[in-house]
Chain A
Amino acid sequence: MTAQYYYQPKSSSEAVELLYEHGPAVLLLAGGTLAMPLVNEGISKPEKVLSLRKAGLNTIQRNNGNMAIGSMTTLTQMVEQTEVPILQEAAQAIGGWAIRNMGTVGGNLFAPPPAGDFAVALLALGASVMLTSKRGKRTVALQDFYTGFLTTDLQEGEIVEQIQLPLPRGKTAYTKFGRRHANTPAVVTVAAHVLLDGGVVKEARLALNAVGPYPFRAKKAEAALVGSKLDAITIANASDIAMAEVEPFTDAVASEWYRRKMVPVIVRRALEKIAGGG
């Protein structure tokens, strides 16, 4: 079956109307950088396509110390904003220039590991996703949004409308480790947000990607940081704990063994960046 219908809603309300009408078989298309390769290979053969590109969801809004990123905001737009440097770094770490001009923040949430290097930064910032359907809107913490490899809490008829996050109050670090310097899938990616109070860790979020079925937070390692000074011993301890929380896999980029070995190294480097004052 070749595609017969290509819908281009002009708003999110029009989009969810169309999604309700045409059901789950419709292909939801954002930037196309994940979906179109499958179409080109003949793996995905949708009869109906619902493109969100023109639905007006590509704006970044700020109010009261929060940022709301429309799901169709491109990775290039995230590189160009300067308010949250870790999101610039994360966006810059993905693909090449043309991919960043097409790929979206909302779409990256659905990129299976080792892809998903933007979502991991959002996790470190404590982001939530606002989901919209004909039934209304609801907000889910991003860490609860993922339910497994290629599965999420997204219900039938829902689209991701916005990603919301508090502007970071603490220090952040983003360390992607791949086989090349740029345009590379990750061996492991670490994103961290640490709030220090008098040299002692008050709050910590440590998110990992490419070493599990979806981007996730290493909660035990986070707990090991809180209440301690961010010194070499604390960092080494948290890095080792993080290694025990991962479920790495083997692919063309790296073996399970190698990914596991690199977790404490990259976690340590990320935390050292934060401890170093940066």
Chain B
Amino acid sequence: MLFGGHVFCPFCGKEIIDENQAFCQHCGARLVAEAGPAIAAAGRGKTPWEDHENTGFFNGFLKTVKTVLITPSDFFRNMRVDGGLTDPLLFAMIIGMIGLMFLSVWDILLHNPLRNFMTPEIKAAADSGMSTGFASPVGAAMMPFLLILWIFLATGMLHLFLMIVRGAKAGFEATFRVVSYSVSPFLFMAIPYCGMLISMIWVLTLVVIGLREAHETSGGRASIAVLFPLLFCCGMFALAAVVIMGAVAASFGSLMQMYK
């Protein structure tokens, strides 16, 4: 409250030193509302998937997948950063399960033929990869739950690193929605051999674009937030990519030897 150039705390009535200070120095009461997410909801709307009442379930689903894959910047720029976790999570579950089912099928049918071309060291490293055990019934039954866990853990870690690099201008929900919609390339797991590699690289690219647009931050900050945990926590994805690329190169080399 302002009286004759002096500012007083509305709770204890004592004078406040600075009218912009967040808390009263006498009683500790909060004087200004805490700054909420800095990203305005204006100009952002429901995704076609969330607007399924108008677009229809399948139409909305396909339209969302198409937009995320082809024009991700536009999609995430226009995606609202609030509105609940349920719809994006359901979308991620559907896409994720379709992709992982394909992965299981290729695992069963092809018996992971790349292993034949791996050196023992690379084979040991590949055995630690994500695809191990997908074909087992227990693994398949656990997949939906693991997918939910993965989405929440990935979101938590990404948001934490985004906060560290001062890129989290919207809330946790924005990060969650970006991660959920960014699993769209899991559909590429339908491609045998290289489907997983393609989808993983595409997912990472989409997450970077999504964080940049949803949090209205720079691409550099978004990239650091995405790549820092990957490099820091095991370098697992980078090494998996190296292992798979090495195995593919080795398989081509072996084929060339066979036809010589």
* A and B pair up: no
Q: Interface of B with A (CB < 8 Å)?
A: none
Q: Interface of A with B (CB < 8 Å)?
A: none
